[in-house]
Structure 1
Amino acid sequence: MIAWTPALAVGIEEIDAQHQELFRRADRFVASLDASSRQDVGIVLSYLRLYCVTHFGAEEAWMREAGYPDYEAHKAEHDGFVEELLEMSAEHERRKGPGLQPMRVGGFIRSWLENHVSGTDRKLARFLLAQSA
């Protein structure tokens, strides 16, 4: 299970709301891995692509506006996620291909949430909150 807890909150309402939605969708997907169809995998990959555009765009704008010193490293993590997501999407959508195994997508999501959201995003939030104080 991938559950949102208050301990994961970064203290910025917009970021926390977006993370909560990501966790909700990821948890629902991971909880049903055994029953996930090729279409279910496609839906979660599509959601993640849209999430990248909106959420990463917002975070990167905040980092630039605030002069965040770790902008390049944080953006590199976003870029790496997008690159891997696009590769997985292309593999999944390959005509007459088997599609991605739900477990692979679930592992990808879980790893991202455990590492980026609970570490890198918290560091950014601490900086942004300190700037606004």
Structure 2
Amino acid sequence: MDARDVIKVGMSAERSLIVPPERTVGHFVPGMPMVYATPMMILEMELVSGDAIKSCLEPGWVTVGTEVDIRHLAATPVGATVRTLARVVGVERRVIRFEVEAFDDKRRIGEGRHARGLVNIEAFTKQFGGI
């Protein structure tokens, strides 16, 4: 599968979540503040990027995260709504590049770039033994 045949610059998606205690720094590191953790924000950015293109993928194909260049700009407390957006900005044969952003109820809390690689599940499973 060649991503350039089916994925177009400008495709986008959006996700929202209410920050639970389980996604805070304090949940993972005792004594730290109970604010939205950077790795959890990056996870949402990866998921929304996948959402933007998954309907275009042929059966048996998925994308996996390969690059992240993200800045976490502001703390977000438990209970706040976080909205994450991704937009395709580049398409290569097997790599899709995204601009990603995250906002809480008040401001932009994260921004950056992300890339996902196109993977054939059957070939991957033969090489690595499964996902």
Normalised TM-score (structure 2): 0.26
Bigger proportion of residues as strand: 2
Normalised TM-score (structure 1): 0.26
Bigger proportion of residues as helix: 1
Structure showing greater relative contact order (alpha-carbon pairs closer than 8 Å, 6 or more residues apart): 1
